[in-house]
């Protein structure tokens, strides 16, 4: 995307209306009320909760929007390190701080507060492109089954509230996914006002950890950290569909290390992440 087109410019489409769209990720970003000195207030993010905390992708998306609003003209996002410190509620304050801005790289720290308590802290790495000194192409996912040919996932009483704002379909490869792995096609029902990077931040944490498939008994699971890397420029995808996968690298003693991967509809890997998860029960 050209630098003149900032990745977090929010413009709601005129044909989008209703309460569902008013709570879309793009609408939430547009409703960040500036308080001065890099601080913002957001009142009401209903529908994005999972239990007593906000869905991590939605909270990260709000923090990302705050960083871009506080420092217009940032170069493209390259990576982020998200720390889930405490539950994020529907009413919050966001603070963005420029840690360092060089000629091509900027590092911004965002903090989300609920009732005066730190709930999420993220380090964002923005970097302008330059002439390449060699290249390695992003991986292509083999044997993907397109969303049109994949079975729908239906909502049930156990599903977090935020999943109602997404379309999800099973996407296990032929022969099934390996143990401790979950793969799904995911798209937001309302994507107005979101550039591709903001969209990926918003959905990148949408799946349950792959360790959920290895649990011997039911119990809660909670993300602790999420490190993500964008693999170059974000390529287009068809009709908003992105292929997501979570896979446990090691699970034991109440914790799981998870690899998170995201591809576009052509199977090109777009985002790669690592997550630490607490497993209870």
What number is the average pLDDT over the span 254-279?
Answer: 97
Find the range with the poorest average confidence among 39-43, 54-58, 125-129, 217-221: 217-221
Distance in angstroms (rounded) separating the CA atoms of residues 209 and 221: 8
pLDDT at 4: 28
More confident residue, 206 or 6: 206
SS (H, E, C) the chain: CCCCCCCCCCCCCCCCCCHHHHCCHHHHHHCCEEEECCEEEEECCCCCEECCEECHHHHHHHHHHHHHHHCCCCCCEEEEEEEECCCCCCEEEEEEEEEEECCCEEEEEEEEEECCEEEEEEEEEEECCCCCCCCCCCCECCCCCCHHHCCECCCCCCCCHHHHHEEEEECCCCCCCCCCEEEEEEEECCCCCCCHHHHHHHHCCCCCCHHHHHCCCCCCEEEEEEEEEECCCCCCCHHHCEEEEEEEEEEECCEEEEEEEEECCCCEEEEEEEEEEEECC
Contact 150, 185 (CB under 8 A): yes
Q: What is the mean pLDDT of the chain?
A: 89
The pLDDT of residue 134: 96
How far CA 130 is from CA of 73, 79, 106, 196, in Å, comes to 17, 16, 15, 21
Average pLDDT over residues 79-83: 98
- Return the bridge partners of 230, or none: 271
Question: At a CB cut-off of 8 Å and minimum separation 6, what does 52 contact?
Answer: 87
Going from the C-alpha of 129 to that of each of 107, 171, 221, 232, 263, the distances in angstroms are: 15, 33, 38, 9, 21
Cβ atoms of 34 and 68 within 8 Å: the answer is: no
| Res 84: pLDDT | 97
Q: What's the whole-number mean pLDDT along residues 163-190?
A: 91
Residue found under tokens 């969303």: 147
Model's pTM, two decimal places?
0.90
Q: What is the pLDDT of residue 157?
A: 54
pLDDT score, position 15 = 36
Please give the average per-residue pLDDT across 61-89, as a whole number: 97
Q: Which of the two residues, 102 and 10, has the higher pLDDT score? A: 102
Mean pLDDT to the nearest integer, 164-191: 91
Domains, in order of start, for the chain:
19-128+138-279 (2.40.160.210)
77: left (phi over 0), alpha (psi -120 to 50) or beta: beta
Q: Tell me, what's the pLDDT at 156?
A: 66
Per-residue pLDDT reduced to its tens digit, 180-232 = 999 999 999 999 889 889 999 999 999 999 999 999 998 888 999 999 999 99
Lowest mean pLDDT across 34-38, 85-89, 161-165, 200-204: 161-165
Q: Find the mean pLDDT for residues 18-35.
A: 86
Which whole number is the average pLDDT over 156-171?
85
Q: In the structure, what pLDDT confidence band is assigned to residue 21 with cuts at 50, 70 and 90?
A: low
User: Residue 3: pLDDT above 80?
Assistant: no
Window from 47-56, 88-97, 149-158 with minimum mean pLDDT: 149-158
* pLDDT of 10: 24
Sheet holding 242-252, edge to edge: 33-36, 39-43, 91-101, 105-114, 117-127, 77-84, 221-230, 269-279, 255-263, 242-252, 181-188, 166-170
Q: What confidence tier does 47 reach under pLDDT thresholds 50, 70, 90?
A: confident
**What pLDDT does 53 receive?**
93
108 pLDDT band (50/70/90 cuts)?
A: very high
Q: How confident is the model at residue 155 (pLDDT cuts 50, 70, 90)?
A: low
Res. 38: pLDDT tops 90:
yes
């Amino acid at each position: 995307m050209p630098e003149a087109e900032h990745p977090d410019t929010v413009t709601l489409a005129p044909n989008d209306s209703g309460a569902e769209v008013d709570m879309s990720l793009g609408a939430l970003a547009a409703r960040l009320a500036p308080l001065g000195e890099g601080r913002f207030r957001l009142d009401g993010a209903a529908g994005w909760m999972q239990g007593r905390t906000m869905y991590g992708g939605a909270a990260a998306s709000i923090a990302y929007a705050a960083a871009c609003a506080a420092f217009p003209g940032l170069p493209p996002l390259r990576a982020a390190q998200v720390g889930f410190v405490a539950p994020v509620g529907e009413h919050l304050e966001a603070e963005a701080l420029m840690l360092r801005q060089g000629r091509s790289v900027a590092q911004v720290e965002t903090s989300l507060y609920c009732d005066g308590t730190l709930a999420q802290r993220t380090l964002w790495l923005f970097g302008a492109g330059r002439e390449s000194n060699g290249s390695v192409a992003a991986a292509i996912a083999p044997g993907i089954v397109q969303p049109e040919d994949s079975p729908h996932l239906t909502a049930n009483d156990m599903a977090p509230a935020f999943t109602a704002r997404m379309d999800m379909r099973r996407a296990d490869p032929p022969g099934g996914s390996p143990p401790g792995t979950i793969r799904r096609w995911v798209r937001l029902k309302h994507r107005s006002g979101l550039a591709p990077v903001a969209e990926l931040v918003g959905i990148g944490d949408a799946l349950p950890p792959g360790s959920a498939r290895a649990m011997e008994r039911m119990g809660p699971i909670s993300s602790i950290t999420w490190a993500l890397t964008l693999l170059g420029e974000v390529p287009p995808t068809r009709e908003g569909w992105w292929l997501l996968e979570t896979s446990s690298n090691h699970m034991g003693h109440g914790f799981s290390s998870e690899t998170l991967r995201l591809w576009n509809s052509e199977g090109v890997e777009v985002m790669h992440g690592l997550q630490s998860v607490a497993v209870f029960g």
